[in-house]
Structure 1
């Protein structure tokens, strides 16, 4: 039986994650090609497409990085395919080069780029606001606030993109991606085949002579889309009064809840912008003319606020505009935060923060999982290099190597930067640099760093932490995996062959759970100069259980001879280990049977699982 997300069942209502609703919206639009690079909070979109792809009538791929994903999507839409490309907000930085030009060439088949922004840095290294990218590139922006809107805006946005040949940005935030809500389904048509490529060099080949008129055409297209925004059902005015609120994205939900809780629904005039770029100037102008004071509620940057201020200034309006002077430019909003700002504007009493008392919960900091092979690699590296080396880290679950007692992450810039930034640090500081990069990140953006290091004769030890999957974002496949949840990878790429092909001659392969060989490999590479690579290869234990169906037959236990020195806990910090009285102990349920601890302490033994 096909997944309900694929069924042509208009009128049915389903409870969906915001990301699942986006998938359904693309199905209803007749999507033909879906590309991505996974990244929280967007990951459930491509993961759902991957799961339903055997029964779907679309092509889906996990691309090696966001730039490649958008380029594949660009080629598909130029060939007439309705296309969706998904990534998290920082991924748009990687994809920005093709994005800017694609807005010139256009999207004949229709193209939507999902940018999942992350106010509050729940799972990201920054909280940039990608509505600004849309202004730079010249892209219409849709901002859903509910699961139903996530579905409808995806469907309608793809149709609008095809109508105008304009790439469209669907800007979500973590709160929208991960909320759950009821979604009424529409018709899910058979997407059929793509229309095919129609040769038109003056439109699709942006050499300077063609690019200049392309830019003019882009500006004209955005003006035509402004007319669409003026009459969009996603831009609405409600309520009445002298005080107005303009809000976009998930802030619309905060405002609605705040007004209801304060008993002000209907007595404050509200302009909701779901189709926020290009700005519907006439709608906004009429709105601000009808009030004496306007509060602009939007998460992160004052994008809409600044446009409203310009609009008021150009029209010489005497209206007070309030925004980031009372609301923060960082983090997520809350209903209480928004309600208090509204109450202050309207002269109503402020509301107190929730005073309910929560029980004191144990602190649970993030940690590498029990049985994680990265722990063995870091332990060996620190044993050999100590604090003498600089440890260059990268984006992945292995970034948790920053935590004590391992403390093997000294700086981090972005995906793939551990190699290049590590080379820069080694050159400038004249110190040994050990750079760590995961297998998925290596294929994402590590290859160019290796090529640069070899070409420029840098002195760096690169450690590729190969756990056979993209572990941090949910075990998505990458070019180096041999298995996925849907079966074998027919064309796995070998990391050793790749680095050897890039000119690296000193390469060592180890299983990090074999500490004797891992330590020996580190010692050997420490004595060398130049670019050398250690590949620490062992599957993520969670992935191993899920895909390889492997469970270690043994677990560790602490013998009665334990002296209570707690070296095992202090040196490894494995979450399966704990203190029990004056001795160490192992939780057999959490223990993954990696036996790393046996190689650290002679008082730890192995026994058959379940005995």
Structure 2
């Protein structure tokens, strides 16, 4: 399959798409006009596809200098009445957070989708944050697809919801949803508007204290109305396998593991699958819990849904046991799989479930850590620095190597061993500033070109101004 097929395949056709590719098709079927991003795994393929097809699709697409700028570009387009789509990996939302929080207050005219691709187990990330928490912080509606078809369909649903309530919508995917493939049934591609028109309204779009006090009240009113839609939305589904001893509440990729275990063991349980999970559909969840005896919450990373469930139980004085992360039934860390979910269900129902056959070998397999590519110029940089250090007769303990996010961080491995501190994009220079004032050691900061433009310019100015 070619990237162009995602654009040109006709209504009624079917494609075998990654979750990320399905997001592209969903945006195209929604009449998106502008798309922006700063690339980051596990969201990268969305940008790869848009880069190849945007011109033919009549969509403006850009790789922005960082996630904050990408969000601002899309926010401006949506405020001018266009449908816009901005996407990033989960930690990118941290970079965009200042503008992210404000654009939820100001609202939009055209639909705006913000996709956060979370990374349980941190396959390519520096932390395992769960951006469902960010939805509560900002007050933004949340959609959680569980497969490529849902990614596409929820994109369209999200744009409509966004325009109905004049508010951006966050879609949370995970590494598994982004990179799984599935058959996707296609609808028609809709051409987006070429240009919008921004209607001046400072009381809405200028976040002065006198204005945002009113916007805060309006946001709460929007969320109350949207909560009613979530309670009755067909994207939230109850799957009844018979029996009422156990009800499982789940969302996103975790739903797939739940269904694998349920179907494989023919368990008589009820499942509530939440795809529209914030504002939290309290009435739907309450009705579901009233029809089961015990509740198990299966979700990846933080106990977000579990805490909502416990809040409802306390509010309505319900005497039922809730199992999940907080009582140790399931792990609070790392990506789930069917075996982990099966072990959790086993604890609840006290019944031995089918164990999948595991394969093992007595062969000792060599470790294959990531390494710099053959011919990579970073090797020459490290070699030159090592040679200079040797010539200057400096001791390694006298030098702090502040490195950064990028492949050059692999310099921490032998034989170079030139990586002592790294916490975020662009941090190498800021960290160097701090160490230069806090110690008498020599500081060497490494930063790549993209990272420099992303977040390295302000700390470099700081270094010069403060004579680091």
Structure-2 residue corresponding to 1:424: 434
Q: CA deviation at 1:351?
A: 4.2
| Aligned counterpart, 1:543 | none
Counterpart-to-counterpart distance in 2, 1:401 and 1:361: 24
1:2 and 1:55 in contact (8 A); partners too:
no
Quote the offset at 1:353 in angstroms.
Answer: 5.6
Would you say the 8 A contact 1:262–1:339 is kept in 2?
A: no
Q: CA separation in 2, counterparts of 1:413 and 1:340?
A: 34
Secondary structure at the aligned position of 2:36 is classed as: strand
Aligned to 1:261: 264
**Alignment-derived partner of residue 63 in structure 2:** 62
> SS at the partner of 1:160?
helix
- Structure 2 CA distance, aligned partners of 1:360 and 1:15? 37
Residue-by-residue CA offset, 1:320-349 (whole Å, 9 max, x unaligned): 111102111110001011012213322321
Q: Is the contact made by 1:65 and 1:444 (CA closer than 8 Å) also made in structure 2?
A: yes
Post-superposition Cα deviations, 1:160-183, rounded to whole Å, max 9, x if no partner, equal 111211111110000000001100
> Is 1:369 matched up with 2:370?
no
Structure 2 counterpart of 1:217? 218
- Give structure 1 regions of 4+ aligned residues with deviation exceeding 6 angstroms: none
Aligned residue in 1 for 2:106: 105
Alignment TM-score, normalising by the size of structure 1: 0.73
Alpha carbons 2:264, 2:354 under 8 Å: kept: no
> Following the alignment from structure 1 to structure 2, what is the Cα–Cα distance between the partners of residues 39 and 435?
22
Does the 8 Å CA contact 2:237/2:272 hold for their aligned counterparts? Answer: yes
Shift of 1:314: 0.3
State the distance in 1 between where 2:149 and 2:364 align.
37
Q: Greater helix share, 1 or 2?
A: 2
Contact 2:4 2:52 in 1 (8 A): no
Q: Deviations over 1:65-124 (max 9, x none)?
A: 001111111111111110000100000000000010000000211111110000001000
Distance (Å, rounded) in 1 between the aligned partners of 2:269 and 2:139: 33
Aligned equivalent of 2:192: 191
Between stretches 431-440 and 150-159, larger displacement belongs to 150-159
Residue of structure 1 in register with 2:392 after alignment: none
- Cα distance in 1 for partners of 2:282, 2:329 equals 24
CA distance in 1, matches of 2:211, 2:384: 57
User: Secondary structure at 1:260's aligned position in 2?
Assistant: helix
- Indicate how the Cα distance of structure 1 residues 363 and 184 shifts in structure 2: closer, same or farther if over 3 A, else same: same
Q: Which position in structure 2 is the counterpart of 1:78?
A: 79
**Is 1:433 the counterpart of 2:446 in the alignment?**
no
Corresponding residue to 1:338 among 338, 341, 346? 341
Q: Matched residues in 1 for 2:190 and 2:3: separation?
A: 15
Q: 1:40 matched to which residue of 2? A: 41
**Cα displacement (A) at 1:360:** 4.8
1:209 Cα deviation from its structure 2 partner? 1.1
SS of the residue corresponding to residue 296 of structure 1 reads strand
Q: Which residue of 2 aligns with 1:454?
A: 464
CA offset at residue 194 of structure 1? Answer: 4.0
What's the offset of the Cα at 1:425? 1.0
User: Which structure 2 residue ranges, 5 or more long, are not aligned?
Assistant: 390-394
CA-based RMSD of the aligned residues comes to 1.4
Deviation at 1:262, TM superposition (A): 1.6
Can you list the C-alpha shifts for 1:255-274, whole angstroms capped at 9, x where unaligned? 0011111221xx10110001
Contact 2:323 2:348 in 1 (8 A): no
Q: Deviations over 1:26-70 (max 9, x none)?
A: 000100000000000000001110011221111000000001111
Name the counterpart of 1:597: none
Does residue 245 of structure 2 align to residue 242 of structure 1? yes
Name the SS of the counterpart of 1:444 in structure 2.
helix
The residue number in structure 2 matching 1:329 is 332
The answer to whether the Cα contact below 8 Å between 1:26 and 1:151 also exists between their aligned partners in 2 is yes
Give the structure 2 partner of residue 53 of structure 1.
Answer: 54
Q: How far 1:156 moved relative to its partner?
A: 1.3
Cα pair 1:242 1:290 within 8 Å, conserved: no
Q: Which residue of 2 aligns with 1:468?
A: none
Could you tell me how far apart the structure 1 residues matched to 2:382 and 2:117 are?
32
Cα deviation, 1:591-611, whole Å, max 9, x if unaligned, reads xxxxxxxxxxxxxxxxxxxxx
Superimposed CA distance per residue, residues 343-376 of structure 1 (whole angstroms, 9 cap, x where no aligned partner): 3322321444642225654321111111010011
Counterparts of residues 40-439 of structure 1 (less than 5 Å): 40-239=41-240, 240=242, 241-264=244-267, 267-324=268-325, 325-352=328-355, 354-358=357-361, 360-385=364-389, 387=396, 388-439=398-449
**Structure 1, gaps ≥5 residues long:** 459-611
Taking the aligned partners of 2:75 and 2:140, their CA distance within structure 1 comes to: 15
* SS of match in other structure, 1:3: helix
CA distance in 2, matches of 1:194, 1:400: 44
The count of residues paired between Structure 1 and Structure 2 equals: 456
> In structure 2, how many angstroms separate the alpha carbons of the residues matched to 1:242 and 1:352?
22
Three-state SS of the structure 1 residue aligned to 2:101 is helix
Q: CA deviation at 1:155?
A: 1.7
Q: TM-score w.r.t. structure 2 length? A: 0.95
Cα offset for 1:250?
Answer: 0.5
Give the Cα separation in 1 of the matches to 2:300 and 2:45.
23
Task: Give the distance between the partners of 1:363 and 1:14, measured in 2 at CA.
Answer: 36
CA deviations on 1:442-480 (whole Å, 9 max, x unpaired) are: 10011111111111111xxxxxxxxxxxxxxxxxxxxxx
Map 1:544-583; keep pairs closer than 5 Å: none
Deviation at 1:235, TM superposition (A): 0.5
Taking the aligned partners of 1:296 and 1:40, their CA distance within structure 2 comes to 28
Q: Larger C-alpha radius of gyration, 1 or 2?
A: 1
Query: In the TM superposition, what is the alpha-carbon distance from 1:148 to its structure 2 partner?
Result: 0.3
